[in-house]
Amino acid sequence: MSILKLMATTAVALGLSWQLAAQSTPTPPAPVLPGVYADPHIAVFGKKYYLYPTTDGSEGWLSDHFTCWSSKDLKKWKLEGTILDLKKDLTWASNRAWAPAIAFKNGKYYFYFSANTNIGVAVADKPTGPFKDALGKPLISKGQYQAQIIDPMVLVDDDGQAYLYFGQGRCYIVKLNPDMVSFDPADVISYKPEGYNEGSFVFKRNGKYYLMWSEYDTRDPRYSVAYAVADSPMGPFVKASQNPILKGAGLVKGAGHHSVVKAPKKDEWYIAYHRFKIPDGNGYNRETCISPMRFDKEGNILPVDVFETVK
Ligand code: FUB
């Protein structure tokens, strides 16, 4: 075969295989929130679900406020408005409003958030706010621990004890005091499972505590979610052998920084996460999606299908 003929045959073969690959890649579902929102923290209070995301759309994630969204079915989401405006509501930080988390205790809603790489806490009587800065200063300040002070998560256990998880680069864990806005620094422990980067999230199922986190950088298409399990909220956690449980596929890139919710009165679980916006997204333009999350009989989390939506 002449060189020219070989080149032509190879080009046809490559073209065909590209076409086949394009045809076999499923179309990604639409995001659940309109626009660019990331780090979604999902929760259920009563019969309503709530989402608390980071607002994307600027290089360096310079957003200065947090919004809240509500839904009865996890599919249609209503914007409840701005629930915390750093410029108006804080005296100690004015931007980089990132990765919040919500917790409910003693009739109050506690909103933990990253602001200019400190962690703060605000309190409200309703999940939709308005939230008021509880301390007038950060709960944890930049430089206080050997991690970037971002990405808080609070688990309130069945006995009412609350646990705070936070940190990028390393996961710190501590019991919160009953007031939900303080802790004993002497009780802080840290944990860095292989691959851990940021975005920790914890939930309890059948007496086991699942600590989940995101691996790689959020601007990396390989961004993904892994988990470890323990018998106690402070560990020791053992990383599951089947990881990651959430990652991009086909046109879905950078799927991560997630949270998990259980449907009331059912063993039905959903994972909220962000991915690069489709089309033309990147680590600063991400969008929020929700997919079902399932377990096997042993309680291992099964890989999430990023093309599956809530039925
Ligand atoms: O959204 C800003 C930052 O990007 C978050 O704090 C990280 O977890 C990453 O998702």
Average pLDDT along the chain: 94
Q: Which pLDDT band holds residue 293 (cuts at 50, 70, 90)?
A: very high
Task: Give 208 Cα–ligand 1 centroid separation in angstroms.
Answer: 27
Residue 101: pLDDT above 70? yes
- Given a cut of 90, is residue 3 above it in pLDDT? no
Residues 171 and 166: their CA atoms lie apart, in Å, by: 6
Ligand 1 site, residue 99, Cβ cutoff 6 A = yes
Residue 25 has a pLDDT of 81
Show me where the domains of the chain are located: 27-293
* pLDDT at site 7: 47
How far is Cα 68 from Cα 211, in angstroms, rounded to an integer? 24
Q: Which is the closest atom of ligand 1 to the Cα of 114?
A: 6
Q: Does ligand 1 have an atom closer than 6 angstroms to the CB of 151?
A: yes
Range in 6-20, 49-63, 142-156, 208-222 with the lowest mean pLDDT: 6-20
280 catalytic per annotation? no
Q: What is the mean pLDDT of residues 26-41?
A: 98
Report field, pTM of the whole predicted structure over 0.85: yes
56 lines ligand 1 (CB under 6 A): no
What pLDDT does residue 9 have?
A: 52
Among the listed residues 92, 79, 71, the one whose alpha carbon sits nearest the alpha carbon of residue 134: 92
Mean pLDDT in residue range 275-297: 98
**204-218 residues labelled b (16+ CB within 10 A) or e (exposed):** eeeeebbbbbbbbeb
Q: Give yes or no: 39 in active site.
A: yes
Q: Are 168 and 148 in contact (CB under 8 A)?
A: yes
CA 219 to ligand 1 center in whole angstroms = 9
Whether residue 13 is predicted with pLDDT greater than 60 in this model: the reply is no
Q: Which among 168, 162, 181, 41 has a CA at the least distance from the CA of 102?
A: 41
| For the CA of 61, the nearest atom of ligand 1 | 2
**Torsion angles phi and psi, residue 157, rounded to 5:** -75, 170
pLDDT-above-90 percentage for the chain? 92
What strands lie across the sheet with 118-124, from one edge to the other?
A: 97-105, 108-115, 118-124, 132-133
Assigned token pair, 185: 């620094």
Give the model confidence (pLDDT) of 207-249 as tens digits. Answer: 999 999 999 999 999 999 999 999 999 999 999 999 999 999 9
- Tokens (6 digits) for 214: 């995101």
Cβ atoms of 259 and 266 within 8 Å: the answer is no
Helix or strand holding residue 48 (H, E): strand 48-55
CA of 205 to the centre of ligand 1 (A): 26
pLDDT at 95 over 50: yes
Burial of residue 166 (CB within 10 Å: 0-12, 13-18, 19+) is: buried
> Would you place residue 6 in the very low, low, confident or very high pLDDT band (cuts 50, 70, 90)?
very low
Nearest to 255 by CA among 299, 209, 291, 228: 291
Catalytic residue among 39, 89, 215, 287: 39
pLDDT of residue 5: 55
307 C-alpha to center of ligand 1: Å? 23
Distance 192 CA to ligand 1 centre (A): 18
Ligand 1 neighbourhood includes 199 CB (under 6 angstroms): yes
- What CATH code is assigned to 27-293? 2.115.10.20
From 64, 133, 198, 215, active-site residue: 198
Q: For residue 151, give the ligand 1 atom closest to its CA.
A: 6
